[in-house]
């Protein structure tokens, strides 16, 4: 039984740990065993703190239950500072770098009893140049980016939970490609102190797990909002399908997932309605690109000016493009985003959430790029809570799903409806 502990959900593991039916040491050893057997193929980790994790687990086993995440091993995206493990931000520039303090969210989850098992691979400064990670569902396919190592580690049962972050689509896309649940909270819900900044107006910390209750547990511990774990639905949710202005980018597999969801909703007694976004939203995709590239060129000014030779050609090109975005363009993009955020509630109408594409389709069969973030950019710009649901398969058998999007600040509603939908989509 112990060798299978790593395959259990975080919520089930939490129950067993609190009851002392299993020990934190047993769980950590099970995760380390899985890493030992699969890491050479998957490449999810930059650093594994095996001895420190076992020492921490022993302390937890010998003391009182510490918090919501008592004894749960967690993967820490290598964009998040850790004082006791290297933090490289996916770049050779920071090889061996040891910050003086943990990121706030790492400290907060440690305070809740979590065990930081190690640092998971991120793309170069969480942009688009891939790291070494492969998709555990099929090793010739990308795991997505930039939270590639975190998604792969969770999908491959190396850890039940892992930190992620999103500036364009870096929580939702790797969750979609690896077939797990990804939760990008409302902008600003999670403290970002100690996480390498890319864009102050877009960066959002998120959570990866294998079920909606698991990401809700993780988020509750990270934010202190226990209401995020209350997933009971008292009445049939009000859900709309939203193809978005980016729908032409969707391939057959994502289109099939939307049709499958429509059938499941109808079967569950939910009126299947299409939510059409305002025409002004068609400009948000370019606005997000302009804001992200403008901010990135400035956030990475030190690296650009003093370590340009250590940056990948792709990142140098991206930074150069950011310097070409004028201040007038940047301000216009932010004005459009501000106006659109004020229109979201009216656009949702009577619906609590919308279901929309997470990615173009299956994970591309390449390790040279991380896939197109087209279906995440606009929702990130709007700052809305998003939950990816992995319920379908594409033409070649790789995972496909959709994301649930809620109104700003209504993360509890988004998670509740996501849990309700996931149950029906998987069991239809």
- Residue 78 within any structural domain of the chain: yes
pLDDT attached to residue 427: 85
C-alpha radius of gyration, the chain, whole number = 20
Active site residue 186: no
Which residue among 77, 119, 196, 289 is the active-site one?
Answer: 77
pLDDT in tens, 97-114: 999 999 999 999 999 999
CB atoms within 10 A of CB 109: 25
Count of structural domains within the chain:
1
Q: Closest by alpha carbon to 332, among 289, 278, 363?
A: 289
- Residue 27 within any structural domain of the chain: yes
- Whole-number Cα distances in Å, 345 to 43, 47, 229, 278, 307: 42, 43, 24, 12, 44
- Residue 254 within any structural domain of the chain: no
Report mean pLDDT in 10-residue bins for the chain, 428 residues: 85 98 98 98 98 98 97 99 98 97 98 98 98 98 98 98 98 98 98 98 98 98 98 95 98 98 94 94 98 98 98 98 98 98 96 98 98 98 98 98 98 98 91
Active site residue 77: yes
- Residue 94 within any structural domain of the chain: yes
- Residue 356 within any structural domain of the chain: no
Domain hosting residue 185, numbered range: 2-229
Active site residue 146: yes
Which residue among 91, 146, 312, 392 is the active-site one?
Answer: 146
- Whole-number Cα distances in Å, 203 to 41, 127, 328, 374, 387: 30, 12, 22, 16, 16
pTM comes to: 0.98
Which residue among 14, 170, 264, 392 is the active-site one?
Answer: 170
Q: Are 123 and 150 in contact (CB under 8 A)?
A: no
pLDDT attached to residue 428: 78
Q: What is the CATH number of the domain that holds 175?
A: 3.90.1300.10
- Residue 128 within any structural domain of the chain: yes
- Residue 85 within any structural domain of the chain: yes
């Amino acid at each position: 039984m112990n060798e299978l502990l790593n395959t259990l959900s975080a919520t089930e593991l939490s129950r067993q740990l609190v009851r002392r039916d299993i020990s934190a040491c047993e769980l950590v050893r099970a995760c380390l065993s899985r890493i030992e057997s699969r890491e050479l193929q998957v490449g999810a980790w930059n650093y594994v703190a095996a001895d420190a994790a076992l020492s921490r687990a022993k302390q937890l086993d010998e003391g009182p239950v510490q918090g919501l995440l008592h004894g749960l091993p967690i993967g820490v995206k290598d964009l998040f500072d850790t004082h006791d493990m290297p933090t490289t931000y996916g770049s050779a520039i920071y090889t061996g770098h040891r910050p003086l303090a943990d990121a706030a969210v790492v400290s907060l989850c440690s305070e809740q009893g979590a065990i930081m098992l190690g640092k998971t691979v991120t793309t170069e400064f969480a942009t688009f140049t891939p790291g070494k990670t492969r998709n555990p569902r099929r090793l010739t396919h990308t795991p997505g980016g930039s939270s590639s190592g975190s998604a792969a580690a969770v999908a491959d049962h190396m850890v039940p939970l892992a930190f992620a972050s999103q500036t364009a689509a870096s929580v939702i896309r790797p969750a979609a490609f690896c077939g797990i649940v990804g939760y990008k909270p409302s902008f600003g819900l999670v403290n970002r102190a100690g996480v390498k900044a890319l864009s102050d107006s877009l960066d959002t910390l998120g959570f990866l797990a294998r079920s909606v209750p698991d990401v809700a547990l993780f988020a509750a511990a990270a934010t202190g909002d226990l209401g995020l774990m209350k997933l009971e639905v008292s009445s049939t949710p009000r859900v709309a399908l939203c193809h978005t202005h980016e729908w032409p980018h969707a391939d057959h597999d994502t289109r099939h997932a939307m049709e499958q969801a429509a059938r499941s909703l109808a079967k569950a007694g939910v009126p299947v309605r299409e939510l059409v976004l305002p025409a002004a939203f068609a400009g948000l995709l370019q606005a997000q690109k302009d804001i992200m590239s403008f901010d990135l060129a400035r956030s990475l000014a030190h690296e650009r000016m003093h370590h340009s030779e250590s940056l990948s050609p792709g990142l140098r090109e991206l930074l150069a493009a950011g310097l070409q975005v004028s201040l007038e363009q940047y301000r216009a993009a932010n004005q459009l985003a501000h106006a659109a955020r004020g229109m979201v509630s009216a656009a949702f109408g009577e619906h609590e959430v919308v279901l929309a594409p997470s990615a173009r389709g299956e994970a591309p069969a390449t390790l040279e790029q991380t896939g197109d973030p087209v279906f995440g950019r606009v929702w990130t710009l709007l700052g809305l809570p998003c939950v990816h649901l992995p319920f379908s398969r594409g033409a070649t058998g790789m995972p496909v799903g959709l994301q649930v999007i809620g109104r700003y600040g209504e993360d509890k509603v988004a998670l509740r409806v996501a849990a309700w939908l996931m149950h029906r989509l998987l069991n239809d």
